[in-house]
Amino acid sequence: MGLIVSRAYIAEISLACDTAEINQRNGSQDIFPDPHTLSILRKAWTCLPTHMQEDIRGISGIETLTPTETQGEVRRQYVTDITSTGQNHSHNQPVVSATGRLEKKRKAKRSSDTGKKTKKLLARRNTEESELSTTLPDEVKTNITSWKDDPLSFFVKGSDVNLELDNCIGGFYSCLVSLESRQGLDSIRTRFLKVSFYHLKLMVCSQQLRSVHMAKIARVIHASGLTSHDSSIIENKLSRWIEEGHRLDALCRDLSDQVQGFEYLSWLFLLPSKVNYEFVRVLPFGGEKRTEAIQHLQTYGIPSPPSPKAQSYIGGIEDIRGLSEAIFRTLWNRLDQSVSENREIFGSGQRTSIQQYKKQANFWIGWQFQYNPLFWAQDAQRGLDNSRQTSLESEPLLSVRKCA
């Protein structure tokens, strides 16, 4: 009997054992009931040399025992071995059967599997906490004061891109194309630019962003000569950036303990790297899932001011708030100027006044409060205050304090 045939016999016997185990049958008479399996055993026995058959039967010439007698003999030998070793076993202690040993193995395996699952869950949680941990670049900590005095230097210092402020809408687009796939400080720069495009949409478009409005913005960008992209590529990128900017803006408002001016955008510095386009895209604007996600962010990654962690983290939360306010107002003023310079494209009727801009922005960003009576009372008061103003000087949207 060669090696290949032996392996074939072993495979057949192993299959029979597995089948018996599945059916919870442990006796030899249950393991080999199949005539095919018995035929395999018979052939294997026949192929053995005579002296090996004698060795299996026993040198003393003991006759071959039946399966039941063999099992009893094995158990008696087990008891004899235990007694001869002098181990402290009671004579009345039942012999551990094959079923009991198998059950112990199963319990040990289940316990091992449970331990492995627990370790995997802990590892997953640690990974999640690591992904949500916020690491503010050292460059930000050391340059907060200088950037606050000159907000545009935030986009220039240590960067190899240029905003091209002579045509800032095209410059913002070109800069964002170059920075979008980068990490670290550049990822923070892209967040500010995306939020800026969202507010540009509020300035030049109606409440719903239509293709005609997107085409006008794309036309300005294409005419700047700062990109080789055609109009369709520009419009696709703008659509995604405006959506992400909208969601980032709303997320910063929900995370902020106070919404005053544009200080809530300080969270653009503090959001962990995991909060990317895919994260904010699937995050609903309201409901339990959003509440849970925000609590999760606050628990694992974002230091909520004025906690000691936040103070030591950035050396004073007020500094980062002031920097965010200065950066965004500077960007907004540049966009406002560019819209005025391209009035022939946008049209004189498309450029909204301060009152119109505030009203539609309140609808887009504060829509979740539309059924809150206190919100509507405050909105009505703002309308009265606006009607008394005589100046129509353009201003960026002033944030609305959210109502509980």
Residue 213: closest CA among 184, 239, 181, 240? 239
pLDDT at 227: 87
Classify residue 120: in a domain, yes or no: no
237 in any annotated domain: yes
Query: Is 144 found in the same domain as 48?
Result: no
- Nearest Cα neighbor of 257 from 299, 309, 303, 293 is 303
Give the number of other Cβ atoms within 10 Å of residue 275's Cβ.
Answer: 25
Residue 174 in contact with residue 164, Cβ under 8 Å?
Answer: yes
Distance CA 125, CA 122 (A): 5
Task: Give the pLDDT score at 316.
Answer: 55
DSSP string, 257-326: S---TTGGGGHHHHS-TT-SHHHHHHS-SSSHHHHHHHHHHHHHTPPPTTSHHHHHHHT-HHHHHHHHHH
Instruction: Output 306 or 344, whichever has higher pLDDT.
Output: 344
Give the Cα-Cα-Cα angle 189, 237, 219 (nearest 5 degrees): 105
Query: Is 232 or 371 the better-scoring residue by pLDDT?
Result: 232
> Does one domain contain both 48 and 148?
no
Q: Are residues 11 and 150 in the same domain?
A: no
**Interatomic CA distance for residues 393 and 395, integer angstroms:** 6
Task: Looking at the structure, tell me whether residues 45 and 141 fall in a common domain.
Answer: no
Is residue 238 exposed (0-12), middle (13-18) or buried (19+ Cβ within 10 Å)?
Answer: buried
Q: What spatial distance separates the first Cα and last Cα of the chain, rounded to whole Å?
A: 84
- Exposed, middle or buried: residue 29 (CB in 10 Å: 0-12, 13-18, 19+)? exposed
The residues, any chain, with a CB within 8 Å of residue 401's CB and separated by 6 or more, are 258, 259, 260
* pLDDT value at residue 110: 66
Q: DSSP string covering 226-241, please? A: S----HHHHHHHHHHH
Q: Specify whether the CB–CB gap between 188 and 197 falls below 8 A.
A: no
305 lies in some domain:
yes
Tokens of 129: 């906490």
- The token duo for 303 is 């230091």
Most confident of 19-28, 37-46, 60-69, 139-148: 139-148
Q: Which of 64-73, 139-148, 304-313, 384-393 has the lowest mean pLDDT?
A: 384-393
Q: Are residues 46 and 192 in the same domain?
A: no
Specify if 143 maps to a domain: yes
Residues 147 and 37 in one domain: no
pLDDT at 202 over 80: yes
Query: Would 400 be classed as within a structural domain?
Result: no
**DSSP symbol at 369:** G
Q: What's the length of the chain?
A: 404
Check residue 306 and give its pLDDT: 44
Residues spanned by the domain of 297: 134-365
C-alpha 126: how far from chain center:
13
Q: Are residues 234 and 359 in the same domain?
A: yes
Residue 300 near residue 133, CB atoms below 8 Å: yes
User: Is residue 31 a contact partner of residue 70, using CB atoms and an 8 Å limit?
Assistant: no
Is residue 124 one of the residues assigned to a domain? no
Whether 159 contacts 186, CB under 8 Å? yes
**Quick one: CA dihedral 169, 173, 175, 179, positive or negative?**
positive
Report the amino acid identity of residue 331: L
Are residues 45 and 138 located together in one domain of the fold? no
Give the number of other CB atoms < 10 A from CB of residue 323.
25
Average pLDDT, the chain: 69
More confident residue, 173 or 397: 173
CB atoms near residue 124 (< 10 Å):
10
Are both 145 and 291 inside the same structural domain?
Answer: yes
Query: CA angle at residue 305 from 299 to 307, to 5 degrees?
Result: 75
Look at residue 312 and tell me if it is in a domain.
yes
pTM above 0.75, yes or no: no
Q: Which of 32-46, 84-98, 148-162, 197-211 comes out lowest in average pLDDT?
A: 84-98
Residues 8 and 144 in one domain: no
Overall domain count for the chain: 2
Is 78 inside a domain boundary? no
